[in-house]
Structure 1
Amino acid sequence: MITRKSWTLAAAISLATSFSAASSEGGLTEAEKNYSPYAQSTMPRNVYWGDSHLHTGLSLDAGLFGNTLRPDAAWRFAKGEEVVASTGVPVKLARPLDWMVLTDHSDMMGIATDIKEGTDNIMAVPKGKEYHEAFVKGGSAAGEAAFDLIQSFSQMTVPKQFLEDYSPGSEVFGKVWEEIVNAAEEHNEPGLFTAFIGYEWTSVPKGFNLHRNVIFRDNADKALQMQPAVTQAPKGSTDPKDLYKWLEAYEQKTGGRVFAFSHNGNLSNGWMFPTETTYHGGVVDKEFVEQRAKWEPHYEITQIKGDGETHPTLSPDDEFADYENWDVGNLDISELKKPEMLKGEYGREALKQGLMLEKKFGTNPYKFGIGGATDSHTSLATADEDNFFGKSTSVEPSASRIAHPFIKNDMGEIPGYKLVASGYTGIWSHENTRTALYDAMERKETYATTGPRMTVRFFGGWDYDKNDVYANDAASIGYAKGVPMGGDLVGAKGKAPNFMITASKDPMSGNLDRIQVVKGWMDKAGKLHERVYDVAVSDGRKIKNGRATKSVGNTVDLKTATWSNSIGDAELATVWTDPDFDKAESSFYYVRVLEIPTPRWVLYDKVRMGAKVPKEAELVGQERAYTSPIWYSPK
């Protein structure tokens, strides 16, 4: 009989003997050393969810429109804590985010707080005193004052003293930047939550939205060595090329890493993606395309101010192109939209134009990865339809917010019901840290959703087997045989590329309707084309000639703002081969995943608060995901 004591001793002797034997034989075998497949692995096995564009009360417009929350509250909310909104309402995310970038406007950071407090420097300027007194009165007077200052910023007529007091080098500007950076440092928890340092460069000449968000790979020791770039005089410029110079100077001075990415372009009136001349009258030449490609590897394709994938005018054969489009005019509707402007505003068209510019100059300036963000000015990163706190504090949940236009003047209107509960970015990475997530964004292994956290993988290669998608570790096969989203296909091997695609529903959202591949290409004559292919559809529907014509259906109950997952599928997967491939033609492919119809936020407002909804307002929509493309070049 072996007692517990003697068994323990025997086990210890056995282990010691084994260790001694291994040591005498030259240490562990390769199989033993690599037994755990996850140790020291940098394969991107996880998707991390975040918001790359959020404002606090430190931003000029957010603060003037009532946001009293500073960075600490924004970070705590993103990490899953319950906070109290500026309107006094308790608010919490259904699920915490994994990472976030706070991007307060760099121009005149902190001025909104000082106007409300009536600081000495504000009161010394006649306009400043006028604004302060209006905020003391409150109500419509405060609203008019806020709009007047924001309009003067848009039209570049801000009082000179304001610009001097709230520009890089001033005491106030420096203190605000330190608060932003230090708050990010405090909330950054490597492995658990990533708090990126960032800001928004707010170029808006003539009301044309050319904003870029700047994201740092670095910590405070480097980020505080330079203050953010601004767009207004005396130390600013609205030319993106001057932002590129700032980025270059930062990296040279600090040895750090930083890049910029464009705000969705549908309020730029065609100037976000120029192909011939830039807004400042410069030409789109070799220098421009190289600088843009270097400093802007990412693009924000969807957010609260509209979806920026494509437009029915640009994609007339795409029945899903008419989704949350904003096409009235520029940011302040001082100039109305013309059809010819649209091609310079939408992501899909920019990807196509990039092929043309690459042929002309040897570099593709619009070879970007895809992401989504909220651009919320409430300090609250809410992108869920049933938990939507709006663009600004002035339109946080109320029975009347639908009637409150985003912008309205004699030229036109963007109604309040057009605001979009969007979006988030999924990043494929091996760990949740600043360096790993930043590197994944830079290599473009990202995708956008309009809010739901569906899991999407997209690989391209030449040798995928139809059964690879069902393997127990399909991702390993994806990397071994090809490239992930954001990659480049090389070596055509005389055959068409094939793509391994998987999509799983967000467990808290709708089932999946379909997976589509969107292809863009340039033919031998230099003409640009696009086509949408249905490659996997739910409920056993048939695909013929690349399309499934039968609708998935609609289960939304308009009386209760509920729906049923009795239609659609929880998962879709396929290996798809391009039936129209020509190895001589440059092309790109990205995946669009559609959910079944679910309620928009306006329907929740109608049911919950009795809000009056105009007949023209959409009550139901199909949430979606957009992956970064995979590119093919004959070179």
Structure 2
Amino acid sequence: MKTQRRSTAFLSSVAMAAALMLPGAGQAQIKTTEEAAASAFPPEAFSPYANRSIPIQPLWGETHLHTGLSLDAGAFGNILGPDDAWAFAKGEQVVSSTGLPVKLSRPLDWMVLTDHTDMMGFAPDLQAGKPGILSDPKGREWYEGYSKGGEAAGKSAFDLITNFSQGTLPEAILKSYSPGADAFAFVWEKIVLAAERANEPGEFTAFIGFEWTSVPKGFNLHRNVMLRDGPTRALQVVPPVTQAPYGDTDPNYLYDWLEMYQEKTGGRAVAFSHNGNLSNGWMFPTTDTYHGGVVDEDYVERRAKWEPHYEVTQIKGDGEAHPFLSPDDEFADYENWDVGNLDLTELKTDEMLGGEYAREALKQGLALEAKLGTNPYKFGLGGATDSHTALATAEEENFFSKSTSVEPSPTRIEHPFIASDLGRIEGYQLVASGYTAVWAEENTRSAIFDAFKRRETYATTGPRIGLRFFGGWEFSEDDLRSRSPAIIGYNKGVPMGGDMRPRDGDSAPSFLIFALRDPIGANLDRIQVVKGWMDAEGKLHEKVHNVVWSDDREMDGDGKLPEVGNTVDLETASWTNTIGAAELATVWTDPDFDAGERAFYYVRVLEIPTPRWVVYDKLRFGIELPEEAQLIHQERAYSSPIWYTPAEG
């Protein structure tokens, strides 16, 4: 049976019916076999949707966004609050902190607003010049810098952040904006009630959340937290911080808080690890010790319980793979940030990279599971912006950057994200990324939260690519003939984020995969399946398979494809969809499957080349771009993995 197929005759779910409006989509006539017909329309009920509760639509959202309530965002001049962020996410036009009108091309379906908990309430008081801040020499210095604006404000903000990361904030100021202080409690209540006002079950879901800002030695170990609950439970607590003596940077401290929250309130919560590429190898520990504790049975069980999701792509770089770790992957060198830690006080070495990237973590999770009985890195994948502008913009032509100080202007590309005596990360290296799609039964807090827990999510770098991924033992090419593949997928297998159960015999698993381009975006280049596994000797491996692709290209003997081509016009910041495909589908069977080996599989979908945000800046502002700036890229989607674990004994 063929394991590869080029197809333009499918939809990845009922909710993708809008794709029928695309030129050529849904027009192919395929002769349906009796087997395909029986599979597409099971006999239980005439209506294929009766008595079913499967997720039928991808809901698009944001898991990591800051308003002016965050310490760093406010210090850089963000004056927008939660109500502005919620309105913007719902599709309303707002005015940015720099006075620019801004609006999303399409509303989001849900969002988690994640202002930093440390020093909660300080930034608005700094902007207002409150006496409690001005009475401290350091506080007055920060206020005067902020008031001058421009370069002085930037230096003031960086000095404030440096004092925070080094634990040298003035004691009186720290106490005034930590748990137990009125200002801290007041801002938490403001965040909670704003989310409740924005929440519209069935139409838009507003999650109560926050970012726990652990940054020991400048190594980024941040986690975002999402609550399933409303204010009745959320206001029984205040969120945790990291600054001593009010908190701790050890992830176990956060796990303790999550445990306390659920026991005290009866609510539910999860945490998402921040993209790990600024952690200098600390995000995914594998040795006996790590920052704050030991990688033992307790650690792997707690991390698996509380962190079912990982932020794989965002403004500060893409964290799926790295060429040093995956030298045979021609697409691993995508928006990598591999210079150093968050404040560039320590440069990165190659040895650190293995503790930072999602693919390597997924592989190491297999080894830890074999050793300790639990896989701590069994996470779903998602994208986020980590924007500090209160604006969740992840489209290249609408990119409002990381912070208010570098919102659209003729000079923003000249401003480095960070610079130190050891190195620089330039402004043009920022990434207009990303979003998370969730397969949920309805647009509510409970349904979306539960989808995160079962890891039925996927990430994109911004485009709203449709993606379905199912694994099982009985998929065949006849299943591609259905226009309702989700029904087949759930009937015969498990969705992304799931576990395939072992079966008798040595037959290999098959995977049902569908991808649909963003209706207003670029065509698709290819679909790839990334496999990771551990062999009988305990060695870890990976392989990237091209499984279906556009146009009349032939794969060579090494499994490589010719490039799809390039239609980008740099002078007009545009491209044409004269190459690529609007939709791709395949049933793929693992040719190297070994029933005795632990493994995972996930899908990577690549678009055809399109312009990066810097090209739009060049066109709009008439500026010259640095020679080093990357102008063209291939945006992508990453599914959550599907895991296979051999039967015991």
Deviation at 1:278, TM superposition (A): 4.5
Verify the 8 A CA contact 1:533 1:546 in the aligned structure 2: no
1:438 to 449, 455, 468: 449
1:330 and 2:341 matched: yes
Deviation at 1:540, TM superposition (A): 2.5
> Which one-letter code corresponds to 1:487 in the other structure?
G
Deviation at 1:134, TM superposition (A): 2.5
1:592 aligned residue: 604
Deviation at 1:544, TM superposition (A): 4.4
Verify the 8 A CA contact 1:41 1:430 in the aligned structure 2: no
Mind listing any 5+ residue stretches in structure 1 that lack a counterpart?
1-30
1:602 and 2:614 matched: yes
2:323 to 288, 303, 312: 312
SS in 2 for 1:197: strand
1:80 and 2:87 matched: no
2:221 to 206, 210, 227: 210
CA distance in 2, matches of 1:406, 1:180: 28
1:613 to 616, 625, 633: 625
Task: State the Cα deviation string for residues 433-469 of structure 1 (Å, max 9, x = none).
Answer: 0000000011000000000001000000000011102
CA distance in 1, matches of 2:49, 2:509: 30
1:153 and 2:164 matched: yes
Range with greater deviation from structure 2 (157-166 or 290-299): 157-166
1:569 aligned residue: 581
CA distance in 2, matches of 1:570, 1:116: 49
Task: State the Cα deviation string for residues 239-268 of structure 1 (Å, max 9, x = none).
Answer: 000100000000000000001010000000
1:169 aligned residue: 180
> Which one-letter code corresponds to 1:536 in the other structure?
V
1:9 aligned residue: none
1:321 and 2:351 matched: no
CA distance in 2, matches of 1:196, 1:358: 32
2:477 aligned residue: 466
CA distance in 1, matches of 2:482, 2:498: 22
Change in CA separation of 1:36 and 1:188 when aligned onto 2, cut-off 3 Å: farther
Verify the 8 A CA contact 2:380 2:455 in the aligned structure 1: yes
Deviation at 1:36, TM superposition (A): 5.9
1:627 aligned residue: 639
1:506 aligned residue: 518
1:24 aligned residue: none
Task: State the Cα deviation string for residues 68-119 of structure 1 (Å, max 9, x = none).
Answer: 0000000000000000000000000000000000000000012111112121
2:352 to 341, 346, 367: 341
CA distance in 2, matches of 1:285, 1:469: 44
Verify the 8 A CA contact 1:71 1:183 in the aligned structure 2: yes
Deviation at 1:546, TM superposition (A): 6.9
CA distance in 1, matches of 2:146, 2:517: 46
1:482 and 2:493 matched: yes
Task: State the Cα deviation string for residues 126-179 of structure 1 (Å, max 9, x = none).
Answer: 211222222233333222211111111111111111221111121000010011
Change in CA separation of 1:480 and 1:544 when aligned onto 2, cut-off 3 Å: farther
Deviation at 1:545, TM superposition (A): 4.8
1:386 aligned residue: 397
Task: State the Cα deviation string for residues 323-352 of structure 1 (Å, max 9, x = none).
Answer: 000000000000000000000000000000
> Which one-letter code corresponds to 2:542 in the other structure?
E
SS in 2 for 1:179: helix
SS in 1 for 2:313: strand
Verify the 8 A CA contact 1:400 1:612 in the aligned structure 2: no
> Which one-letter code corresponds to 2:81 in the other structure?
R
Change in CA separation of 1:393 and 1:39 when aligned onto 2, cut-off 3 Å: farther
2:66 aligned residue: 55
Deviation at 1:592, TM superposition (A): 0.1
SS in 2 for 1:116: helix
CA distance in 2, matches of 1:515, 1:95: 25
Task: State the Cα deviation string for residues 359-409 of structure 1 (Å, max 9, x = none).
Answer: 000000000000000000000000000000000001101111111100011
Change in CA separation of 1:55 and 1:40 when aligned onto 2, cut-off 3 Å: farther
2:412 aligned residue: 401
Change in CA separation of 1:185 and 1:37 when aligned onto 2, cut-off 3 Å: farther
2:269 aligned residue: 258
Task: State the Cα deviation string for residues 512-543 of structure 1 (Å, max 9, x = none).
Answer: 00000000000000000000000000003223
Verify the 8 A CA contact 2:74 2:127 in the aligned structure 1: no
1:283 and 2:276 matched: no
Deviation at 1:421, TM superposition (A): 0.3
SS in 2 for 1:422: coil
Verify the 8 A CA contact 1:271 1:278 in the aligned structure 2: no
Change in CA separation of 1:38 and 1:179 when aligned onto 2, cut-off 3 Å: farther
SS in 1 for 2:553: coil
CA distance in 2, matches of 1:514, 1:614: 31
1:246 aligned residue: 257
Task: State the Cα deviation string for residues 610-633 of structure 1 (Å, max 9, x = none).
Answer: 222111111000000000000001
CA distance in 1, matches of 2:544, 2:284: 22
Range with greater deviation from structure 2 (608-617 or 448-457): 608-617
TM-score in terms of structure 1 length:
0.93
2:246 aligned residue: 235
Verify the 8 A CA contact 1:537 1:548 in the aligned structure 2: no
2:552 aligned residue: 540
Verify the 8 A CA contact 2:250 2:292 in the aligned structure 1: no
1:531 aligned residue: 543
Deviation at 1:125, TM superposition (A): 1.6
Task: State the Cα deviation string for residues 577-598 of structure 1 (Å, max 9, x = none).
Answer: 0000000100000000000000
CA distance in 2, matches of 1:177, 1:585: 47
CA distance in 1, matches of 2:149, 2:596: 64
1:371 to 377, 382, 386: 382
1:358 to 357, 369, 372: 369
CA distance in 2, matches of 1:507, 1:413: 37
Verify the 8 A CA contact 1:163 1:233 in the aligned structure 2: no
SS in 2 for 1:604: helix
CA distance in 2, matches of 1:502, 1:574: 7
Verify the 8 A CA contact 1:541 1:548 in the aligned structure 2: no
CA distance in 2, matches of 1:171, 1:140: 33
Verify the 8 A CA contact 1:552 1:568 in the aligned structure 2: yes
Range with greater deviation from structure 2 (554-563 or 544-553): 544-553
> Which one-letter code corresponds to 2:184 in the other structure?
F
Higher relative contact order (CA 8 A, sep 6+): 2
2:38 aligned residue: none
Verify the 8 A CA contact 1:65 1:146 in the aligned structure 2: yes
Verify the 8 A CA contact 1:51 1:425 in the aligned structure 2: yes
CA distance in 2, matches of 1:420, 1:410: 24
Mind listing any 5+ residue stretches in structure 2 that lack a counterpart?
1-41
CA distance in 2, matches of 1:256, 1:281: 27
Deviation at 1:35, TM superposition (A): 7.0
1:142 to 129, 133, 153: 153
> Which one-letter code corresponds to 2:537 in the other structure?
A
CA distance in 1, matches of 2:558, 2:134: 65
CA distance in 2, matches of 1:528, 1:288: 22
CA distance in 1, matches of 2:396, 2:359: 25
Higher Cα Rg, which structure: 1
Verify the 8 A CA contact 1:535 1:546 in the aligned structure 2: no
CA distance in 1, matches of 2:543, 2:610: 26
